[in-house]
Amino acid sequence: MRTPSLSTRTSAPALVLAIAMSCWSFVPAAEEPGKVALLVGINNYNRRKLEDRPLRFAERDVQELAVVLQEQKFAVRTLTGPDATKVNIEEALNGLLKGLKKDVVMVAFAGHGMQLPLKDELGNLVRDAQGRELSDAFFCPFDAVAGEGSTMISLTRLVERLDNEGGTNLFLVDTCRDDFDPHRGPGKRSLSGDELVGRLPGNSAILFSCSKG
């Protein structure tokens, strides 16, 4: 499966410049905001159900985005390919957020994603007021195991963490959704973001990729 590059949907430099400018409205004009970014892109995976779905532009997109962000005075950490394991991503996040609370934090993921049942910290399924099971959106690191959320990056948990440790938080999620729910069949859509409706903090914004066209 292929996903279109960020540049086919919109101009990455224009998008980042607009986001960066909007962030500055959250801080006094006389101050230079502390701006940090973690960018993760993966073209090829080495695990079953993921290795046969190589991507073409994920790594290139984050590398080009890093250049734009550096021009905007962001301190950028980029992880691509085999370096983008779950451990390395989590360690990079720890390094990104250590010390004083940052003014602007950007996290961008480009690669595969999955929609899996949402679970609480005890591993219990989370349901809505009508008793329906809720799902969570996950980004797949290089070493992700298909269907096992513990090997992936939960976007819900990441949002919660940055709400506590970040500042003005910006997410770019360019991931296709591999949905292995037997009732729905293999999905070819983007992550929906529905699990974050009503739960996204006021200091955060998230942009999901969309279907071609």
Dihedral (CA of 206, 112, 82, 89) sign? positive
35-208 architecture in CATH?
3-Layer(aba) Sandwich (3.40)
Q: Name the pLDDT band for 30 (thresholds 50, 70, 90).
A: very low
Strands 135-139 and 204-208: unpaired
The length of the chain is: 213
Average pLDDT over residues 53-78: 94
pLDDT tens digits along 126-163: 787 788 777 788 899 999 988 888 899 988 888 888 88
Distance CA(4)–CA(76), nearest Å, equals: 24
Confidence at residue 130, expressed as pLDDT on a 0 to 100 scale: 82
Written as six digits, the tokens of 52 are 């046969």
Please report the DSSP string for 45-101 in residue order: --STTTTTS--SSHHHHHHHHHHHHHHTT-EEEEEEGGG--HHHHHHHHHHHH-SSP
**Whether the Cβ atoms of residue 163 and residue 203 lie closer than 8 Å to each other:** yes
pLDDT tens digits along 82-136: 999 999 999 999 998 887 778 999 999 999 988 887 777 777 887 877 887 777 8
pLDDT tens digits along 1-19: 444 444 444 455 555 555 5
Confidence at residue 99, expressed as pLDDT on a 0 to 100 scale: 76
Q: Domains of the chain: which residue ranges? A: 35-208
Q: Which residue has the tokens 């003014």?
A: 103
Angle at 36 between CA 34 and CA 41, to 5 degrees: 170
Task: State the chain's mean pLDDT as an integer.
Answer: 77
